[in-house]
Structures are given as C-alpha cells and as structure tokens.
Amino acid sequence: MNRPVRRIAAVAVFVVSVATTSFAAQPTVRAENPAAAALLRLGALAGEWKGSVEWTGARTGRYAMDATYSTTGNGSAVVETLTQEGVAMMTTVYHADGADLRMTHYCGTKNQPRLKASRIDLANGAIDFAFVDATNLTSPDAPHVSGLEVRFGDADHLTITFRFEGRGKPAFERISLQRSPPKA
C-alpha cells in the first residue's frame, strides 16, 4: 500500500472511531427500570396543555391553569411549568435517581419540596409521590406540598393532584389537563 492510501485509510479509521465513541458517549434515558419508564412516560407529555384547577379540603376554589412540559439535560429530566393567565406560577422537575423517580417542586409558597415516587404503576396510568424533605421551609407546619398523584388518561389527558399540608390542615389541588392542538 502506498503512503497516500495509508494516510487516507488511517484518517478514515480515526474518523470512524471518533464518531463511534461520540455516539456511544451520548447519555440516553432507557426504560431499564420502573423509574426510567416513568420518566419516559412523563417526557411524552412534551408540549402545551390547557386545563383547570379545583381545590378541596382546607382551601376551595376553581380557576383555569395551563401547563407546559419539556425535557432537559439530554432527556434526563422533565420540566413541568404550571401557568395562570400566561404567568408561570409553579415548576416541577422530575428526574431519575438510579432506580428511584424523584421530583422537586418550585412552589408558589416559595419553598421547594422534594418528593420520591412511592408507587409507579404505568399499566394503570399512575405515579404517586411522597414527601422526602423541603428547602426554604420556614417551619415544619408551614404550607407545602406533601404528596403528588399523577394520573395518565389517554395521550391527550392528564390529571395531577397536589396534596398540601399547612398548619395541620390538608388541601388538595386537582389539575385536569388536556393537550393543546399543535400550533400551525
């Protein structure tokens, strides 16, 4: 083999090995456990949603609330932004932590509860989260999210119910959402 052909062959081998290594190094979310499968299901919510809120328990009321879902971190997290009249009110970030599914809720009460999935039953469209701890909680009985239920309907319907605790009185914020049609 002559020298120019060897150089071209060496460059080709180098390019193929770099390309293969680059693609292999790309992190991906795989459904290797229930938490990963749940994160993929949450990621499939990506887009705009319209809905309404109904409060029960210590607080009552109804009003419109919309949501936007997106993925970040190369698919390693799902961001849920809840909006009222176009203003972001609360954000939740869902992510896997090994075999666990966790979430941090950036609440309108200006604290950040962290929850861990206590039940993942995708066959029945359910994920339940239980309170782990919170940052910026002014006292143990200050109002905060202490639980969350996610209920998947079909691909275009979703219900999320936040359980709030505060001063010993529970309240439930049930948000019913329907996927918005794609913008033209």
Asked if residue 18 is part of any domain, the answer here is no
pLDDT reading at 54 higher than 70: yes
Per cent of the chain over pLDDT 90 is 77
The count of domains in the chain is 1
Find all residues with CB under 8 Å of 127, minimum gap 6, and list them: 38, 41, 42, 101, 117, 119, 120, 121, 149, 150
Q: Which residue has the higher pLDDT, 56 or 29?
A: 56
Asked if residue 14 is part of any domain, the answer here is no
Asked if residue 161 is part of any domain, the answer here is yes
pLDDT reading at 86 higher than 80: yes
Residue 71: both structure tokens together:
């993925």
The CATH code of the domain that includes 160 is 2.40.128.20
Task: Characterize the bridge pairing of strands 66-72 and 61-64.
Answer: unpaired
Asked if residue 17 is part of any domain, the answer here is no
For residues 60-67, give the mean pLDDT.
96
Asked if residue 137 is part of any domain, the answer here is yes
Per cent of the chain over pLDDT 70 is 83
Tokens 């939740």 -> residue: 92
pLDDT in tens, 107-163: 999 999 999 999 999 999 999 999 999 999 999 899 999 999 999 999 999 999 999
How many C-beta atoms surround the C-beta of residue 126 within 10 A?
14
pLDDT of residue 32: 85
Asked if residue 21 is part of any domain, the answer here is no
Asked if residue 184 is part of any domain, the answer here is no
Range of 128's domain?
29-179
Asked if residue 81 is part of any domain, the answer here is yes
pLDDT band for 80, please (50, 70, 90 cuts): very high
